[in-house]
Amino acid sequence: MAQVVHFGHQVWANYHKTAACNVKSRVELANVEQMNGRAHLKGVAETVLALLKEAKQYQIPVRPIGAGWSPSPINVVEDGWLVETLRLNRTFKLSAQNLHQDCDIAAEALLLVQAGATVDEVYESAEEIGRSLRTGGASNGQSFAGACATGTHGSVWQAGGIQDHVRAVQLVTPERILWIEPKQGVLSDDFIAQTGSEIIRSDRIFAAAQLHVGAMGFVTAMLIETDPIFMVQNIQKAVKIKREHIDWLCRGEFRKFSCEFGLDEEPYFQQLILNPFDPFDKKSLLRFLYKRPFDASIAPPLPGEMGAGYDALTLLGKAMAESDFFQAEILQLAMEQAYPNNRDVDDPPAIATWGHTTEEHSPIASLFNGSVTMDRRNLSEAFDLIIDSFRSGGGGTVVTLRFIRRAQGLLAPARWPDNVVIDFDGPNVESSHSGYKKVVEALDDAGIAFTRHWGKTNNLDERRVKRDYEQNFADWKWAQAQVMPDPADRRVFANDELVKLGLI
Ligand SMILES: Cc1cc2nc3c(=O)[nH]c(=O)nc-3n(C[C@H](O)[C@H](O)[C@H](O)COP(=O)(O)OP(=O)(O)OC[C@H]3O[C@@H](n4cnc5c(N)ncnc54)[C@H](O)[C@@H]3O)c2cc1C
């Protein structure tokens, strides 16, 4: 079982203070010591089942949350129970006898992760056993279930989203405790039975549960596949780029781009932050990470030498919002002041494990985050439209370019074989919102297909979600109905945003 603490009625706001709600009760779940991992998972799932049954009986909407880091209002619920999971944060190793006979993944690559373990905690557990995550987003304070819920991603161009690590999901509805795996089994029936779960082995239902947007039930645990531990070398600098470099990136010429500004080798990760008001006369902020073999004798450098912070951006972004007149200059100041431009090609190398590549984040001000994801081959055309849109009076955000492969999960925004994600980050003020809307309109007018991040400001509705995801949306709804056939079960997970998106 898990400990359940009701803190009662309160006003709750998400991390970025972009959404708030009056909750009937803020509820915290916490682990209680159990004999082993299976007993632990069973106890927690049974506690959640009882909570959801009660909620269904009294028609109280329930919203499970992780870190509350999503700026979109998917993590708020009016007059319901907001259930915090961050203290359900244990991870467990597996052994070969726990695996299904058809499983082709080695036991040492697998880690059982409770829903509320933060990405950072999962990195640490993986490193302790000589393993690593393949990719992740920035700052690593998200819960693993919450990060997977929205398809959190970074800029590893050969990987998709964080949900791509997931090989099985333990999901609780008001009526059932389920263990969802692909058709090819991963864990043995015996092991799963000891977690108190009913088995579903289906590729479609699993693909729906990998990226669930918080609308498929309450995730209590996940089984994830890790990579052998590795390190990365960081190059981070402010440089002027030219328009032709955007074309290189559009064509996937990452090595050529790296050779121009970083090392003459294929980067594992690459990211550009630029000033959309003046992208070529002002400096852009580049970051490359190159894969290196693990070497235990290398002491990790200070976090600032491996990662970028958002905080100064937030502060200066606020100043910028007050003053449209100097927008481009203040934006540039904010970018360069916030960025540790401290690792060039000739500097002593900064090398650390993948888990050391981002800094912890603390909220300083109300932020705006929006993004669009599209086929990387449309980058050049989209880039010109975006710059035109900013120059003709829109926006108050910086623009970041990140690159990822097609991500797993039916509702994964990264749906093209190779994707560029264009992020818009700035102060949470009207100019940021209106600038983002203008970009979205310009892309639509140009007929460029794109999707949006579930966890960021996105202005989506059901009509648009259906259009963006086509058959995958219908398949996701089918899978949700398999897991929760009774509409009353689905209603337990309703909030205004998920209803608007057509997901409940
Ligand atoms: C500082 C910062 C940096 C960020 N960097 C990136 C980045 O680099 N890349 C990127 O893609 N995104 C990024 N984001 C966005 C963030 O990764 C996502 O919004 C992520 O979903 C937040 O995780 P969370 O644990 O806070 O989830 P929450 O915001 O708490 O929840 C997200 C959704 O998941 C649901 N949920 C949470 N836990 C469960 C559960 N156990 N069962 C069922 N549903 C659940 C919630 O109800 C909600 O619908 C960043 C956000 C911040 C604040």
DSSP letters, 136-175, are --SSS-SBHHHHHHHT----BTT---GGGGEEEEEEE-SS
- With 50 as the cut, is the pLDDT of residue 308 above it? no
Q: 16 CA to middle of ligand 1, Å?
A: 11
Lining ligand 1 with CB less than 6 A are 15-16, 63-70, 74-75, 85, 115, 137-139, 142-143, 145-147, 149-150, 152-154, 213-214, 218-219, 361, 453, 455
Per-residue pLDDT tens over the stretch 262-300: 999 999 999 999 999 899 999 998 999 999 999 999 987
How confident is the model at residue 96, as a pLDDT?
Answer: 98
The DSSP symbol for 343 reads B
Atom of ligand 1 at shortest range from CA of 149: 34
Tokens of 298: 């290398």
If one counts every other C-beta atom within 10 angstroms of the C-beta of residue 202, the result is 15
Whose alpha carbon is nearest atom 51 of ligand 1?
A: 69
Q: What is the pLDDT of residue 106?
A: 98
Q: Is the dihedral of CA 490, 493, 496, 502 positive or negative?
A: negative
Kindly give the distance from the C-alpha atom of residue 454 to the centroid of ligand 1, in angstroms, as a whole number.
9
Q: Name the residue among 324, 315, 171, 306 with its Cα closest to residue 234.
A: 306
180: Cβ contacts below 8 Å, ≥ 6 apart: 168, 169, 170, 171, 200, 202, 205, 206, 209, 483
Cβ neighbours around 376 below 10 Å, total: 23
Which atom number of ligand 1 is nearest to the Cα of residue 74? 49
Specify the pTM.
0.95
Ligand 1 atom index nearest CA of 69? 26
Pocket test for ligand 1, best of 70, 89, 122, 169 (most atoms within 8 A of CB): 70
- Nearest atom, ligand 1, residue 455 CA: 19
Among residues 270, 314, 283, 307, the alpha carbon closest in space to that of 425 is found at 314
User: Separation of 72 CA from ligand 1 center, angstroms?
Assistant: 9
Whole-number Å distance, alpha carbon 455 to ligand 1 midpoint, is 6
Q: How many CA atoms lie within 13 A of 439 on its CB side?
A: 32
Cβ 29 vs Cβ 87: under 8 Å? yes
Pocket-testing residue among 17, 52, 62, 150, ligand 1, by greatest number of atoms within 8 A of Cβ: 150
Atom 44, ligand 1: which residue's CA is nearest?
214
Name the more confident of 330 and 97.
Answer: 97
Substitution candidate for ligand 1 out of 41, 88, 119, 152 with most atoms within 8 A of CB = 152
Which of these, 275, 453, 432, lies nearest to 372 by C-alpha position? 453
Helix (H), strand (E) at residue 208? helix 203-210
Mean pLDDT for all residues in the chain: 92
Closest to 82 measured CA to CA, from 173, 13, 142, 15: 13
Average pLDDT over residues 45-64: 98
Looking at residue 216, the DSSP 8-state letter turns out to be S
Q: So what's the pLDDT on residue 340? A: 64
Q: Using one digit for the tens of pLDDT, what is the confidence trace for 365-412?
A: 677 889 999 999 999 999 999 999 988 877 778 899 999 999 999 999
pLDDT at 188 over 70: yes
The string of pLDDT tens digits covering residues 27-46 is: 999 999 877 889 999 999 99
Confidence (pLDDT) at 309: 47
Handedness of CA 462, 467, 472, 478 (dihedral sign): positive
Q: What is the pLDDT of residues 92-119, one digit of tens each?
A: 999 999 999 999 999 999 999 999 999 9
Q: Which two tokens stand for residue 166?
A: 């997931």
Residue 201 CA to ligand 1 center (angstroms) comes to 26
Q: How confident is the model at residue 333 (pLDDT cuts 50, 70, 90)?
A: confident
Backbone angles phi, psi at 286, to 5 degrees: -105, 150
**Complete domains list, the chain, with CATH:** 2-228+477-500 (3.30.465.10), 231-452 (3.40.462.10)
Q: What is the DSSP string of 243-278?
A: HHHHHHHHTT-HHHHHHHHS-SS--SEEEEEE-TTS
Q: Which helix (H) or strand (E) holds 50?
A: helix 37-57
Q: Is the dihedral of CA 343, 337, 304, 88 positive or negative?
A: negative
Q: Three-state SS for 182?
A: coil
pLDDT of residue 385: 96
Q: Give pLDDT, residue 265.
A: 97
Using one digit for the tens of pLDDT, what is the confidence trace for 219-246? Answer: 999 999 999 999 999 998 899 999 999 9
The model's confidence at residue 310, banded by pLDDT at 50, 70 and 90, is very low
